[in-house]
Structure 1
Amino acid sequence: MTREREGAPASWEVFLRPRRGLAHQHVGSVRAGDPHAALLRARDLYTRRGEPLSLWVVRSGDVHAAAPDEHDPYFANAEHKPYRYPHQFAPLTGGGSDGDHDH
């Protein structure tokens, strides 16, 4: 984690939800002293192309992420939840639509 210098503008992560998108996407970062100024900078830098549905800024220090060396605890298979895996279920047999119907 990088520390902000005393008196230096904070770093903010910028997220846009494009008009045709379902979710916000990280598009970059800006430096600003407060959330309002961060939104204005983000608007000026990242909304020139198209008209996004919404714009978010999040102070960089408030974003928490899993580091690559922590991959397994966060993204490993959930072996303790066998219902998530298809091999735990018996295949359906008989009575299905297999295309061999008499007409």
Structure 2
Amino acid sequence: MFRLRSADGNVIELEPEHGESVMDTAVRAGVDGIVGECGGSASCGTCHVFVPEEHLARLDPPEFAEEQTLGYTAVPRTDASRLACQVPAADVDGAVLDLPERQY
């Protein structure tokens, strides 16, 4: 289980299925704020999220494609930025991930 918090403060709790990414879980649940236009190939940047510092250490570092895409997100990246399609939901169990104010 993890939570997504929108820019206006609304929080939704999500229960991922085995092996899902954060993006997969959010799209399946119809969460506003996660678009996932490219279907999870780390090429569109429409699933940008901010991961809490204590959970970033659990994640593998971003691969080249994710690093490149994060440079072109609608809201500037921070040290906490990741693409939800590249974040295994199991690795952020218990976390509250923040959504940017927009994805486009």
- For the criterion TM > 0.5, the same-fold answer is no
Report which structure shows greater RCO (CA 8 Å, sep ≥6): 2
Q: TM-score range by the shorter chain?
A: under 0.3
Tell me the TM-score normalised to structure 1 length. Answer: 0.26
Q: Which structure is larger by alpha-carbon Rg, 1 or 2?
A: 1
Structure with a larger share of its residues in strand = 1
